[in-house]
């Protein structure tokens, strides 16, 4: 996370007990709304993002390359073959309950799959999809 205000918002939300999927979604949505007034996280945009082929990596062109079409199911890393627990919080209650861990994985996965850091809006949309639509 390169934006200092984003880090402050994430830390403030974490201190306020936001270490739940909904809390993180709200934090990212608030950051996105500060940049785009009226922003509302969208499960549809999150689903589109999750399935989009970015093509940065031949072996990992999309989130679904490792997490499968159904994020409530276990996946497998496309390169290492390592098992991955379900991404959807309803199938894996430990998902998105640690803000620092979520940021670590967003940083790594967005870089490898998307080819750049994910925006707060993309994170909010993805979390909305995973929490409500997956």
Cβ(41)–Cβ(132) under 8 Å? no
The model's confidence at residue 19, banded by pLDDT at 50, 70 and 90, is confident
Residues 81, 129: Cα–Cα separation, whole Å: 25
- The range of the structural domain enclosing residue 59 comes to 4-133
Higher pLDDT, 51 or 16: 51
50, 73, 114, 117, 134 from 86: Cα distances, Å: 14, 5, 20, 22, 10
Res 105: pLDDT: 94
Res 14: pLDDT: 44
How many separate domains does the chain show? 1
Residues 102, 44: Cα–Cα separation, whole Å: 21
Residues 100, 88: Cα–Cα separation, whole Å: 18
Res 41: pLDDT: 97
Question: Above 50 in pLDDT, residue 102?
Answer: yes
The model's confidence at residue 76, banded by pLDDT at 50, 70 and 90, is very high
Res 55: pLDDT: 87
Residues 25, 18: Cα–Cα separation, whole Å: 9
CATH number (domain holding residue 82) = 1.10.760.10
């Amino acid at each position: 996370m390169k934006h200092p205000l984003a880090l402050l918002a994430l830390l403030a939300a974490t201190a306020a007990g936001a270490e739940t999927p909904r809390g993180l979604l709200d934090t990212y949505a608030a950051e996105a709304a500060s940049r785009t007034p009226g922003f509302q996280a969208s499960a549809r945009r999150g689903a589109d993002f999750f399935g989009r082929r970015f093509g940065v990596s031949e072996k990992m062109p999309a989130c679904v390359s490792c997490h499968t079409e159904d994020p409530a199911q276990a996946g497998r890393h496309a390169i290492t073959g390592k098992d991955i627990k379900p991404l959807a919080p309803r199938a894996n209650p430990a998902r998105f309950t640690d803000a620092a861990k979520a940021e670590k994985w967003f940083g790594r996965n967005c870089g490898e799959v998307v080819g750049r850091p994910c925006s707060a809006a993309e994170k909010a949309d993805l979390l909305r999809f995973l929490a409500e639509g997956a």
